Amino acid sequence: MSRWLGVLLLALVLLGGADTWLRSHRATRRIGDGRLRALVDSERQVETDRVRAVHLRVPGNKGEWHYERRGDTWRFPAYFNAYIHGDRMNSFLDVILGASGTRATDGADDHDELGVADHQGLHVMLHGGGSGAVGGEALADIRLGRGIPGPVGEESYARLAGDDLVLHLHANPIRLLGGAMPPLLDPHLLPRDVKRRTITRARVTSGEGSYLLRRVLAPMPEDAPPIPLDERDRYSWVLERESRIDTCDDTSIYAWMSWVRSVRFERLVDPRDDGYGLGTAGELELTDEEDTHDRLRLGRNAGDQADAGAGLYVGNEVADLVTVMPAGRAQWLLPPARLLLEPLPDPSPFESIP
């Protein structure tokens, strides 16, 4: 009898020890799960400035896009070297390279559920010096999984390729890429990634003739502050044509220049083709404070000559882009002189340009 009591006591001691160990293990696991871990270890020294190429891929032939950093700009070589929104690309890189999260799982069996299996999610491959998705130094290979709701915004799962550990990130980097396909393309005729200072001169040449717009110091009233804070108080614009010099209407000239900076194209075409007739329909040359030039040249109809709705070829010579945009939009790159000398009608024509 005493022997059985001893066995029973030993079993109780073992069960108690096992329970204590299990509770301790679970507590340690909870502490481990709550600890923030970097997605890309800082010891690898992968910083945004080191990244020279980004390759994005959605498995299953759903999309594959390769971007390259060229100087201060980001380009998309597969679409006639299109410019992309470099600020958003850099923000995307900052987020994923600086991301940290808590452990979601370290079991490969859970990858499917979290959207980070090799056949799922978004694959992000970062490369350093050299060109091409393979030619450059491999810096990081990341799997971004499905988004999940969080207390202050959408969160997501992510892991490094070849690593079973999945982190729960308190951000969703994919959102920074937007919903367009391909992601991040910049549709502006004057790419936003090309830095420019304030425009000081513009020469317009069209079938109606040529004129020069020039910024000049404005005469100051006697009671004006010594250094006006607003550019429109410091400067005026004049329009020179033939032997005449006229003063522009401030509202009209600034409205037009603001529109020129924001005008968008519909699509790109191969800039190496010389059959667009660029310059035959007119030209706009812009010069900024640092004597940087943008030369925009208008060409022939993009479709049949009789099809006015096909659009017009418009080239940005400096950016090495040839675009197509509606003729009704392109014509405002070469406005009639009178439009800039008089107050704009209400509503402004720049509010209804197609």
Kindly state the helix (H) or strand (E) to which residue 73 belongs, with its residue range: strand 73-76
Maximum alpha-carbon separation in the chain? 125
What's this model's pTM, rounded to 2 decimal places? 0.84
Mean of the per-residue pLDDT values of the chain: 87
Q: 21-30, 173-182, 204-213, 274-283: which range is least confident on average? A: 21-30
Identify whether the C-beta of residue 339 lies closer than 8 Å to the C-beta of residue 350: no
Mean pLDDT of 158-181: 93
Identify whether the C-beta of residue 128 lies closer than 8 Å to the C-beta of residue 159: no
The string of DSSP letters for 207-234 reads: TTEEEEEEEEEPPPPTTS-SS-SSHHHH
The string of DSSP letters for 187-202 reads: -BSS-TTS----EEEE
- CA atoms within 13 A of residue 296's CA, in its CB half-sphere: 27
Quick: pLDDT tens for 219-273: 776 666 666 556 667 789 999 998 899 999 999 999 999 999 999 999 999 999 9
% of the chain residues with pLDDT over 70: 83
Residue 148: pLDDT band by 50, 70, 90 thresholds? confident
pLDDT at residue 160, as a whole number: 96
Residue 24: pLDDT band by 50, 70, 90 thresholds? very low
Mean pLDDT of 89-117: 94
Mode of pairing for the β-strands spanning 37-38 and 166-169 = unpaired
| Residue type at position 235 | Y
Mean pLDDT of 116-138: 81
Determine the Cα–Cα distance for residues 122 and 133; give it in Å rounded to an integer. Answer: 15
pLDDT at residue 27, as a whole number: 37
